[in-house]
Structure 1
Amino acid sequence: MTREDLAARQAALLETLLTDAPAPSGFDPARLRIEADVLLAKRRKLVAYLRPDLPEALGERFRPLFDAFAAERPKAVTVRAREYADTFAAWLVTRGELPKPRWFQRRKR
């Protein structure tokens, strides 16, 4: 197997784990789904740690809303965790799930 082939297989595997894409050939889709769920839970937990205001404000809605956000915007390697958490918060405001922050309202005046 060439480096290019290996890189392509790794990219396909990563895409499956982060975006719910079909499993690459040679991989068990059920096992990949488990791994993808674990990675999603890890990101959700990290976002809750970095932005405890979000799960506090959303309550039971935090998990399904985060999962919907993560499905639309998989975390890229180049994006820091805090930036990802802040992007989630902005996404919530844009969708009307959270009120606009006070600093934003004051700046508009």
Structure 2
Amino acid sequence: MSRADLAARQAELLRALLASGPPPAGFDASRLRVEASVLRRKHGRVLAYQRPELAEALGERFGPLFAEFNSARPKRDTERSGAYADEFVTWLIAGGHLPKPRRGLVSRLRRR
């Protein structure tokens, strides 16, 4: 298998795991769904660690809200985590899950 073929297969697997893409040939779809679910929960925990003020503001609602956001808008395989977190904050504010921040708070919730 050439490097280009291997890179294409790896990208296909990442899309299946991180962005709800179709399972690549040779992979069990049900196992990929389980692994994708685990990775999404892990990403939520990492985001909570990276943005503790956001996790604190949401409390126990953080996990369910992140799962809702992530199911409607999965992270792209090439997307930076910080940009994805910013989009989550925007979604939370637009949905009324967080109050519209005062000036200065936006920069603390959205760090680049």
TM-score by length of structure 1 reads: 0.75
Residue aligning to 2:16: 16
Residue aligning to 1:46: 46
CA drift of 1:103 comes to: 1.1
Which entry has the higher C-alpha Rg, 1 or 2? 1
Unaligned 5+ runs, structure 1: none
**What one-letter code is carried by the residue in structure 1 that aligns with 2:68?**
A
Residue aligning to 2:5: 5
Higher relative contact order (CA 8 A, sep 6+): 2
Q: State the distance in 2 between where 1:6 and 1:49 align.
A: 33
Matched-pair identity in %: 52
User: How many residue pairs align between the two structures?
Assistant: 104
Unaligned 5+ runs, structure 2: 106-112
Change (3 A) 1:68 1:17: same
Kept in 2, the 8 Å contact 1:16–1:32? The answer is yes
Kept in 1, the 8 Å contact 2:17–2:33? The answer is yes
CA drift of 1:48 comes to: 0.9
**What one-letter code is carried by the residue in structure 2 that aligns with 1:63?**
G
Change (3 A) 1:14 1:27: same
CA drift of 1:85 comes to: 2.5
Q: Which runs of 4+ in 1 moved over 6 A?
A: none
